Structure 1
């Protein structure tokens, strides 16, 4: 935690404006840990800004787009203030509380930890209901990648977050987690879900990395390793955990759903015995989709209806392995390698046509990216997505390749070799107002 440094109340408003203006100028500065910043003068995308002495009218303004700021607003915001203008402490010290909270609510979450060192008042900002109210109303900071792993020396949990809008890595302390074997399940609405064994039984826990809070959920009816997915409803301030069958389960188990409103697990219908459920599933618009074997196909469980339904959509030919990826609203994607006689040819992305009940090819990974990501045919890769963003990671190379479905753009995640190597990864939306209860 970062504590106040005793700055007088007469200076906190001036420091606010100074900090905000500086963030407009060098908001992309590398921050290693919460509460501390690097000293290099870099632009948000890591390029050096020239030091030529040019007039302000000819000086190039680098436009960025942090939370909710349009480009025109940001361009004006990033201009260096006139050094001749004197900011009166007595005037800025009377900044209304609501206005201050609204300003801070627009600051990227990772920058809040830097601002908390300004004064005692700001150090307790995360406990201020006024700030949390404004924070819940502003747009999302944008997608981030969260990596989780263990330190090779002392086996302590390590977590890093890559902000796609800021193009920077941040380290989050995870010492608040229980000291037992856990693995990353996924993230939704600012919460992160883990599962594992505490030495005697299977456990599921929920945490908010920004507020450093954690809670262990009640035990399921069938207490064994299950495939889990999490859904957060921000409007209702609640979340659900869905537990489905595992590929190698020795018995057919019913779906179990945890509801944070009741703090209980409820039993749902079993999957039809004629199908063997695989470990790959996706949740879209109250529907849980699962790949099946015997025969190879797709099953859908309606969380609101409580019934299973077979989706008669034949999988693409020559599909070697595939992942179900949820998109926006009802969109469902299938991502997988295609090949012939164990010779890999390409990686493709399909979208399910809900009307014709067939997989429609969306795109194919360019050969140069495919060769760089998967050098060997047997090399393992992982794939997951959120909000029409799909990330590919190669298990033993530490590479991250991002595909934007809407923009149809492929791009490498910069500086991720150490963070992605032998780590569990998921998309993450940083929010202070995501409660664990």
Structure 2
């Protein structure tokens, strides 16, 4: 099932009358909306409730047996339902999963303009988050058009979101925070950055940095202040030591801060935790920490676990900082482990180990490369030769596989994503 989406407000880098489509990733989707489904008036004594989870939702499907007595449809009075108070309607719709809103917009003109309604956005900003999602981004090998698919962890379903509103130079997926997604790329010889909201199809190109160089970036969103900041550390490949630059959306400009001390970085991956940015370093051994409040760098002598082959820093909730990596010298002795930084003792404490059966399924070769991402104490593992990802819930201590066509592409980029209509790019 394909549902049309009308985009109300134009973006700075998109067309004004853009018509896009939102569809299930894969085949046609089943219409689960109660509207038009024809709910019949069945006697409670003849109902049998079967609880199923076809898409991760706790749903109740009512099944009935044929009865001799005639059944009558329930007639819904249009005059009554049409007079539903505006506030009550917005409060109900604000609790509908974001991806389902697009299907409901085709009901009437009133619902079609719901995304431009300030009352709806106000209620939407106050309800709990839909839950974490995985956003995969890649470019078509033939047309070079941007492609995006989102996997909803609560709904256990893939959705395809059009990304034609992005400029061609938006190549690198920086990350996501608070419903916004950040991209960077080379526009000719100029390194540019933009932020966007995939749900509202709006984006904004940020001003140029003081130093025109491909940079390592991370984005932080403050929902209470309705603002965001982007931190640009060293250059992308760690060859040049450049002054740290910070973009503030409230000031709409980049500010120059302290240059990172000369270090040998382990990886260009960064983790932002408790208003601090962390990077792994080989010499001196430990972590480089950038304090966003002061604008200064400092070194933390946290030694890495022995026999660590490759590692990633993952930011968790409540000031938790994780180190995820593969250890072992030989293929038969390798394993994947997760550590947490003890800030008081400045040492890594082991949290868990990946079960051997998952490790063998994820990495078939000892030298195979893997990627790791995290958000809200969720850690995702992906490898180039696998068409699936492995998710670990730190709080629940549960391992689970996530499959999908989007994870099978060798050039796809992945990050965690929180879908929100009220995330503004201004």
TM-score range (shorter-chain normalised) is 0.7 to 0.9
Instruction: Say whether 1:123 aligns with 2:112.
Output: yes
Q: Which residue of 1 aligns with 2:24?
A: 32
Q: Which residue of 1 aligns with 2:285?
A: 296
Q: Quote how far apart the aligned CAs of 1:95 are.
A: 0.5
Q: Which residue of 2 aligns with 1:422?
A: 411
Instruction: Give, in whole Å, the separation in 2 of the partners of 1:133 and 1:154.
Output: 39
The alignment's TM-score, normalised by the length of structure 1, stands at 0.83
Contact 1:397–1:417 under 8 Å retained in 2: no
1:168-195 deviations in Å (ceiling 9; x for gaps): 0000000000022511110000000001
1:237-292 deviations in Å (ceiling 9; x for gaps): 11110111147444321211101000011111122235557412110111111111
Q: Secondary structure at the match of 1:154?
A: coil
Instruction: Say whether 1:317 aligns with 2:320.
Output: no
| Structure 1 residues 435 and 254: alpha-carbon distance in aligned structure 2, compared to 1, 3 A threshold | same
Equivalenced residue count is 392
Instruction: Give, in whole Å, the separation in 2 of the partners of 1:394 and 1:32.
Output: 24
1:304-324 deviations in Å (ceiling 9; x for gaps): 122322212110000001000
Instruction: Give, in whole Å, the separation in 1 of the partners of 2:410 and 2:267.
Output: 26
Q: Which residue of 2 aligns with 1:101?
A: 90
Q: Which moved more, 1:290-299 or 1:226-235?
A: 290-299
| Structure 1 residues 80 and 192: alpha-carbon distance in aligned structure 2, compared to 1, 3 A threshold | farther
Q: Quote how far apart the aligned CAs of 1:88 are.
A: 1.1
| Structure 1 residues 96 and 274: alpha-carbon distance in aligned structure 2, compared to 1, 3 A threshold | closer
Q: Which moved more, 1:57-66 or 1:86-95?
A: 57-66
Instruction: Give, in whole Å, the separation in 1 of the partners of 2:63 and 2:228.
Output: 44
Instruction: Say whether 1:434 aligns with 2:418.
Output: no
Q: Secondary structure at the match of 2:49?
A: coil
Q: 2:185 aligns with which of 159, 172, 196?
A: 196
Q: Secondary structure at the match of 2:207?
A: coil
| Structure 1 residues 236 and 189: alpha-carbon distance in aligned structure 2, compared to 1, 3 A threshold | same
Instruction: Give, in whole Å, the separation in 1 of the partners of 2:340 and 2:24.
Output: 38
What are structure 1's unaligned runs of at least 5 residues?
A: 5-29, 42-53
Instruction: Say whether 1:263 aligns with 2:255.
Output: no
Q: 1:363 aligns with which of 332, 336, 352?
A: 352
Contact 1:147–1:419 under 8 Å retained in 2: no
Q: Which residue of 1 aligns with 2:13?
A: none
What are structure 2's unaligned runs of at least 5 residues?
A: 8-21, 33-43, 65-70
| Structure 1 residues 269 and 80: alpha-carbon distance in aligned structure 2, compared to 1, 3 A threshold | farther
Contact 1:247–1:277 under 8 Å retained in 2: no
For the aligned residue pairs, the C-alpha RMSD in angstroms reads 2.8
Contact 1:3–1:116 under 8 Å retained in 2: no
| Structure 1 residues 333 and 276: alpha-carbon distance in aligned structure 2, compared to 1, 3 A threshold | closer
Q: Which residue of 1 aligns with 2:379?
A: 390
Instruction: Say whether 1:61 aligns with 2:78.
Output: no
Q: Quote how far apart the aligned CAs of 1:32 are.
A: 2.0
Q: Which moved more, 1:398-407 or 1:276-285?
A: 276-285
Structure number with higher strand proportion: 2
Instruction: Say whether 1:308 aligns with 2:297.
Output: yes
Contact 2:48–2:62 under 8 Å retained in 1: no
